[in-house]
Amino acid sequence: MPYGPTPETSAAPAPAAAPRIPPPPRATRGARGARNLSTLRHASPALLAYAAVRLLGAGVFALWARNERRDVWHLLAESWDCDWYLKIADQGYADTLGTQIDANNLAFFPLHPLLIRAGSVLVPEPRGAVGLAIAVTCSFLAAWGIFAVGDHLYGRKAGVLLAALWGSLPVALVQWMGYTESLFTALTAWSLYAVLTGRWIWAGTLAALAGLTRPTGVALAAAVSLTALLALWRRGRGRRVAVRVLAGAVLAPLGWLSYVVWVGFRLGRWDGYFAVQKLWRNDWDGGVGTLRTVLDLLSVERPQLFLMMVTATLLGSVALFVLSAADRQPLPLLLFTGLLLLIVLGSKGVYFPRSRFLLPAFPLLLPLATALARARTHVTVTVLLTAALTSAAFGGHMLLAWNGPP
């Protein structure tokens, strides 16, 4: 059952005596191409707005890095986690657990390095080019999917603003680095859109691919599967529709589960993946560690700017989730963002990447997007410009002043 208004639910019922109209002929390739072009044209304001805010951020970062004589290419394509994925693409995964902290590459999920390896056949040099190209391309696919969700629920203007806000987040520069956030967000956005429009097999397939991209793919898988099962339980359905809904529910967790099982077989122990996560200190403690870190930061006289930004992002995300629930967002969106927040806040792992981990939680921005869609034009422009400039400043600070990974 699609979420939100659809032609089937909004149109008046046909008279009982109306003659049966035969189904339209299957669309030709030309008709499908025209429809796809029309869909892209409809989304073009969102893509242009997203490109504008990200080009501003990238330009500020490039000028800042040049002024400090730093290598822009290395920072965007080969630094920190980018290097982990490049090495996995080149050399494969470890086959032993080991005991060294933060050293086992089995903590990194396989879809991004697999795409890098496939793309390297076409673009063998320079190192990191494929990973960066994947990230930038997927960032636009993500912005398109984010627009589609906003447009479906609240209209075109809200969709455009939602995509622009996503591109203006404090750590949005990561979207144009050789990281997995853009790929994961693209799969998440289109999977959630598929749920909202009743395309269950697409929803499950994309959720499965997201589960092969990041550990937090389990949040999307759970959101899709639980929504599908609840839809089956609540409403009677025809057999064909029920099979498709059930297929989506089954497909969604297969990506995440398959990688976790594969790591277990590779290491010769059923809890192999979770043992790897322990070496990366990513145990789940229900948020005790996060709360302790926040309180420690607030008690420091001069805390580091980047960590304060992360703290503000976490607190703001919780507030936006409350607003999203009050606005009665569709269940799949609330399930995904709620579970993602639970995972990110409940981990006692390293604190500084938490803002980046929440980049895929774009539905949290819907209350802001809808409010801006109703605001006066000068208010909307002022807020977006301020957000874009702040994002550009924090992007440069993140890679050039903060002494650690984003």
Model pLDDT, residue 13: 43
CA–CA separation, 217 and 211 (whole Å)? 4
pLDDT in the model for residue 105:
98
Q: Residues 173, 59: contact at Cβ < 8 Å?
A: no
> Which residues are bridge partners to 284 per DSSP?
347
- Residues for the chain: how many in total? 406
What pLDDT was estimated at residue 32? Answer: 67
Tens digit of each residue's pLDDT, the chain (406 residues): 555 544 333 344 444 444 344 444 455 566 666 777 888 999 999 999 999 999 999 999 999 999 999 999 999 999 999 999 999 999 999 999 999 999 999 999 999 999 999 999 888 778 899 999 999 999 999 999 999 999 999 999 999 999 999 999 999 999 999 999 999 999 999 999 999 999 999 999 999 999 999 999 999 999 999 999 999 888 765 676 889 999 999 999 999 999 999 999 999 999 999 999 999 998 889 999 999 999 999 898 889 999 999 999 999 999 999 999 999 999 999 999 999 999 999 998 899 999 999 999 999 999 999 999 999 999 999 999 999 999 999 999 999 999 899 9
Sign of the alpha-carbon dihedral angle for 382, 385, 391, 397:
negative
DSSP-derived letter for residue 363 is G
Beta carbons within 8 Å of 388's beta carbon, 6+ residues apart? 52, 53, 56, 57, 164, 167, 168
The DSSP line for 7-32 is HHHHSPPPPTTPPPPPPPPPPPHHHH
Per-residue pLDDT at 401: 97
pTM of the full predicted structure? 0.92
pLDDT of 237 reads: 58
Given a contact cutoff of 8 angstroms between Cβ atoms, the answer to whether 144 and 162 are in contact is no
Return d(Cα 317, Cα 364) in angstroms, integer. Answer: 7
Distances (CA, A) of 81 to 25, 140, 313: 49, 21, 21
Nearest to 75 by CA among 88, 63, 86, 61: 61
CA distances from 172 to 57, 76, 118, 119, 336 (A): 8, 12, 26, 24, 20
